């Protein structure tokens, strides 16, 4: 390709000749591997990895990263293996390529699960080497630049992923230019009409406001020269998605977004930043609440600048950033500045440290997450763009997402502090744990050795770290307790069938684990204890594995239903079975057993499936109360509802719900009751009492599932 030669020439400006030679070898290797493959646009596939490598070269990344960029799709789309890459280009390059590659040859139940697992693999590889995410972000940026060539449905999905995950990660790593372009491209493909309208409006505004911008630039330069402050001054244009977000959040029209243009002042050192700020505040009046000092308190991604908002000429607000040259480098390149400048500057070291802390937090979230979808949820929670800055009792500054609570703060300090948190003092005052933190708050967490996380905390924590650690603790404790209980319940069920847990072979367990989709024996026992599986069903299946001639549904007596089985047994809303009704059990994978009446039309088709349907019977005595729906037609007279309710109460029944609808002629009214009864005899007693009321014309028991009109007359 002609552009390949020009790229290599350009890259030689900062790379050694031997590195450029190695990149040329990688290019030809990748070109041969992708031979015959084309992109959706019709271009040879090699154009994509070449473009990705060039994006990284603009950030002056090292030769290993550029080599991996040229090879980043060969493992996924061709027959080339990781070992082949390691043999020819070295193990570090092979690790980078593997980190960027998707999880192929693994089947997932849903597209969302597959995507989440790919994100988890990539983010964990990034925790080992941050260049993985830099390659992936460059890959995504080129895909977004060429997204017009793919079908509309895929275009929307890729744009949504970019907006939800990739752009926030670029922002979190301080890659400002990448972040803004990804944001704008995602906006263009998600909302093309809105994008085009704003694009044209901003273009028109350039001409309308050019005179104002020119006057402001000239005034700022003169003021800084008068104060003998050496500075570079430049106007800048806000990116489109930033304008759109401001319009949406503040409900503004484009004409009311006056700070479409901002100004950036770059000075030689930190004292000059504050001198420039004073000079500008003397030139234009500052807007109250518009000043932010990100030099004294840097953002979590290492960004440093002074931000101020001023009343400019003609009353239009001006947004101004003041920073040093080093701060500007970090603001533009973020974490990539480590390769870009190889500086020993303290600010760069601090940036690397903050990035490392965030990457370590990803590993902690991974250990506390049950699956990849949950892990991705935690990461999304952690990619908040807005932050609050709070202080520990010793004066250490912590940056937390907007909306964070003392519980988030406690887990940010240390997992043990979060797990043992019982109370909090904010600025020396005791406040609830759900209190939202504000900038400058001084937080003092009160702990107790016996304390443990409260499940209610999950309703208000906002950081991924806190959410992951709370869930991890609750799952671990609950899982251990449930597994012990599940073993006892299974032993009891096996005992009724003349066996026991100790008599089961590994082959029986392994067959059951495979058939049920569980991960281990402990998982099955835990599910029994939590009520997600029935002990008696598991017992029968285990014994059926041991004896291939055993019919697990016919070899034993029906399952006894007591009504107190918890999550394991639920009662269908379509037919509302109550003790005394002939019933049948329907097993739903992962949801336990659903009890229907024998004549329920909802399960007519399912009854022929022996793997899902079980014979069940009511226990002689049940302590639970069951819902049942009845419909009563009455003469529409004053006080009739009170009479009916009194008779129901006198029959030892609770009224869970009641609705009254007059008939069209208003002579009669129809009352719909949801009652709680212990069995059919109890219901019959209630119906006899109600029939004795003179105003009652007709009574019927109703099956009240959605769309159901089935009913039973009282007998």
How sure is the predictor about 307, in pLDDT bands with cuts at 50, 70 and 90?
very high
Sheet holding 668-677, edge to edge: 654-662, 668-677, 626-635, 696-702, 711-713
How sure is the predictor about 660, in pLDDT bands with cuts at 50, 70 and 90?
confident
How sure is the predictor about 499, in pLDDT bands with cuts at 50, 70 and 90?
confident
User: How far, in Å, CA of 475 to CA of 504, rounded?
Assistant: 27
User: How far, in Å, CA of 294 to CA of 316, rounded?
Assistant: 24
How sure is the predictor about 518, in pLDDT bands with cuts at 50, 70 and 90?
confident
Per the DSSP assignment, residues forming a β-bridge with 658 are 673
Amino acid 362: pLDDT: 63
Amino acid 341: pLDDT: 43
User: How far, in Å, CA of 184 to CA of 494, rounded?
Assistant: 62
Higher local confidence (pLDDT), 227 or 475? 227
Structural domain boundaries of the chain?
2-190, 202-343, 351-472, 626-713
Residue 423 clears pLDDT 90, i.e. is over it:
yes
Strand 696-702 relative to strand 387-391: parallel, antiparallel, unpaired?
unpaired
Range from 66-70, 137-141, 298-302, 547-551 carrying the lowest mean pLDDT: 547-551
CB contact set of 69 (below 8 Å; sequence gap of 6+): 49, 52, 53, 56, 135, 138, 139
Higher local confidence (pLDDT), 149 or 382? 149
Strand 559-561 relative to strand 317-324: parallel, antiparallel, unpaired?
unpaired
User: How far, in Å, CA of 335 to CA of 322, rounded?
Assistant: 20
Residue 703 clears pLDDT 80, i.e. is over it:
no
Residues annotated catalytic, as ranges: 76-77
Share of the chain above pLDDT 70, in %: 78
Residue 300 clears pLDDT 90, i.e. is over it:
no
Sheet holding 569-571, edge to edge: 559-561, 613-618, 583-588, 592-597, 569-571
Burial class from Cβ neighbours inside 10 Å (0-12, 13-18, 19+) for residue 247 reads: middle
Instruction: Please tell me the pTM assigned to this model.
Output: 0.57
Mean predicted confidence (pLDDT) in 703-715: 45
User: How far, in Å, CA of 655 to CA of 692, rounded?
Assistant: 19
Same fold, 2-190 and 626-713: no
| In CATH, 202-343 is 2.60.120.890 | no
Share of the chain above pLDDT 90, in %: 26
How sure is the predictor about 708, in pLDDT bands with cuts at 50, 70 and 90?
very low
Amino acid 351: pLDDT: 59
Residue 554 clears pLDDT 60, i.e. is over it:
no
Residue 337 clears pLDDT 80, i.e. is over it:
no
With tokens 């030099």, the residue in question is 295
Range from 6-10, 161-165, 279-283, 545-549 carrying the lowest mean pLDDT: 545-549
Mean predicted confidence (pLDDT) in 442-450: 90
Residue 106 clears pLDDT 50, i.e. is over it:
no
Higher local confidence (pLDDT), 247 or 97? 97
Mean predicted confidence (pLDDT) in 77-102: 87
Residue 346 clears pLDDT 60, i.e. is over it:
no
* Topology at the third CATH level for domain 2-190: Hypothetical protein af1432 (1.10.3210)
DSSP 166: I
User: How far, in Å, CA of 529 to CA of 523, rounded?
Assistant: 10
In this structure, the number of other CB atoms found within 10 A of the CB of residue 674 comes to 17
Condensed to tens digits (0 to 9), the pLDDT of residues 62-75 reads 899 999 999 988 88
Residue 349 clears pLDDT 80, i.e. is over it:
no
CB 596 within 8 A of CB 584: yes
Task: Supply the Cα-derived Rg of the chain in whole angstroms.
Answer: 34
CATH code, residues 351-472:
3.10.20.30
Range from 95-104, 122-131, 501-510 carrying the lowest mean pLDDT: 122-131
Mean predicted confidence (pLDDT) in 270-296: 90
Amino acid 144: pLDDT: 94
Largest Cα–Cα separation, the chain: 104
Amino acid 454: pLDDT: 85
Amino acid 590: pLDDT: 46
User: How far, in Å, CA of 675 to CA of 669, rounded?
Assistant: 19
How sure is the predictor about 277, in pLDDT bands with cuts at 50, 70 and 90?
very high
Closest by alpha carbon to 577, among 610, 602, 554, 558?
Answer: 602
Amino acid 269: pLDDT: 93
Q: What is the mean pLDDT of the chain?
A: 80
Amino acid 28: pLDDT: 92
Amino acid 709: pLDDT: 41
| Three-state secondary structure string covering 215-264 | HHHHHHHHHHHHCCCCEEEEEEECCHHHHHHHHHHHCCCHHHCCCCEEEE
Range from 69-78, 204-213, 554-563 carrying the lowest mean pLDDT: 554-563
Sheet holding 429-431, edge to edge: 429-431, 421-426, 443-447
CB 555 within 8 A of CB 615: no
CATH code, residues 626-713:
3.30.70.260
Residue 426 clears pLDDT 70, i.e. is over it:
yes
Mean predicted confidence (pLDDT) in 487-508: 78
Condensed to tens digits (0 to 9), the pLDDT of residues 219-251 reads 999 999 988 899 999 887 778 888 888 788 777
- 152: tokens are 């509309």
Residue 511 clears pLDDT 90, i.e. is over it:
no
User: How far, in Å, CA of 395 to CA of 28, rounded?
Assistant: 56
Per the DSSP assignment, residues forming a β-bridge with 629 are 674, 702
């Amino acid at each position: 390709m002609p552009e390949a030669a020009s790229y290599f020439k350009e890259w030689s400006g900062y790379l050694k000749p031997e590195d450029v030679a190695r990149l040329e070898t990688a290019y030809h290797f990748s070109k041969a591997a992708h031979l015959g493959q084309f992109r959706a646009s019709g271009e040879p596939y090699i154009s994509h990895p070449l473009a990705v490598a060039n994006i990284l070269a603009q950030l002056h990344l090292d030769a290993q990263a550029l080599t991996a960029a040229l090879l980043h799709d060969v493992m996924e789309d061709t027959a080339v293996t990781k070992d082949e890459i390691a043999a020819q280009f070295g193990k570090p390059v092979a690790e980078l390529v593997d980190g960027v590659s998707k999880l192929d040859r693994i089947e997932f139940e849903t597209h969302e699960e597959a995507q989440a697992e790919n994100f988890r693999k990539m983010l964990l590889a990034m925790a080992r080497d941050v260049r993985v995410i830099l390659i992936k972000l460059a890959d995504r940026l080129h895909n977004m630049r060429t997204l017009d060539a793919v079908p509309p449905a895929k275009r929307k999905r890729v744009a949504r992923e970019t907006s939800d995950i990739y752009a926030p990660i670029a922002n979190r790593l301080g890659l400002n230019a990448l972040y803004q372009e990804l944001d704008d491209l995602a906006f263009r493909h998600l909302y093309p009409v809105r994008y085009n309208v704003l694009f044209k409006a901003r273009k028109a505004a350039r001409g309308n406001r050019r005179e104002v911008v020119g006057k402001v630039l000239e005034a700022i330069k003169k003021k800084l020269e008068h104060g003998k402050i050496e500075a570079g001054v430049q106007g800048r244009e806000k990116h489109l998605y930033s304008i759109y977000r401001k319009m949406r959040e503040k409900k503004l029209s484009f004409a009311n977004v006056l700070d479409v243009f901002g100004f950036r002042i770059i000075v030689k050192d930190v004292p000059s930043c504050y001198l420039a700020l004073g000079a500008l505040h003397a030139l234009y009046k500052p807007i109250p609440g518009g000043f932010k000092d990100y030099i004294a308190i840097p953002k979590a991604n290492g960004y440093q600048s002074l931000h101020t908002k001023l009343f400019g000429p003609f009353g239009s607000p001006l947004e101004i950033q003041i920073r040093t040259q080093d701060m500007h480098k970090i603001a533009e390149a973020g974490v990539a500045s480590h390769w870009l400048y190889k500086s020993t500057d303290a600010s760069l070291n601090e940036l690397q440290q903050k990035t490392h802390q965030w990457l370590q937090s990803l590993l902690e979230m991974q250990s506390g997450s049950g699956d990849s979808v949950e892990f991705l949820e935690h990461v999304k929670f952690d990619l908040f763009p807005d932050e609050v800055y709070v202080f520990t009792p010793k004066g250490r500054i912590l940056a937390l997402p907007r909306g964070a609570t003392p519980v988030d703060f406690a887990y940010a300090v240390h997992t043990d502090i979060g797990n043992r948190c019982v109370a909090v003092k904010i600025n020396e005052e005791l406040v609830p744990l759900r209190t939202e933190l504000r900038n400058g708050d001084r937080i003092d967490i009160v702990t107790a050795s016996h304390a443990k996380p409260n499940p209610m905390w999950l309703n208000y924590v906002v950081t991924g770290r806190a959410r992951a650690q709370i869930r991890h603790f609750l799952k671990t404790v609950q899982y251990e307790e449930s597994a012990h209980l599940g073993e006892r319940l299974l032993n009891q069920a096996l005992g009724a069938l003349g066996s026991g847990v100790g008599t089961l072979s590994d082959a029986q367990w392994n067959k059951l684990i495979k058939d049920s989709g569980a991960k281990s024996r402990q998982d099955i026992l835990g599910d029994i204890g939590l009520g997600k599986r029935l002990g008696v069903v598991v017992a029968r299946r285990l014994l059926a594995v041991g004896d291939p001639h055993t019919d697990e549904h016919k070899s034993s007596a029906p399952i006894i239903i007591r009504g107190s089985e918890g999550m394991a047994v639920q009662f269908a809303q379509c037919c509302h079975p109550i003790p005394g009704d002939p019933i049948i059990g329907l097993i739903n994978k992962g949801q336990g057993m659903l009890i229907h009446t024998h004549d329920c039309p909802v399960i007519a088709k399912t009854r022929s499936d022996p793997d899902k349907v079980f014979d069940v019977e009511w226990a002689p005595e049940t302590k639970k109360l069951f819902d049942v729906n009845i419909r009563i037609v009455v003469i529409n007279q004053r006080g009739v509802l009170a009479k009916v309710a009194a008779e129901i109460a006198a029959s030892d029944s609770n009224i869970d719900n009641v609705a009254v609808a007059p008939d069209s002629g208003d002579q009669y009214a129809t009352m719909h009751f949801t009652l709680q009864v212990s069995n059919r005899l109890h219901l019959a007693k209630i119906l006899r009492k109600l029939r004795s009321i003179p105003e009652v014309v007709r009574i019927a028991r109703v099956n009240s599932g959605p769309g159901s009109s089935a009913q039973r007359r009282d007998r």
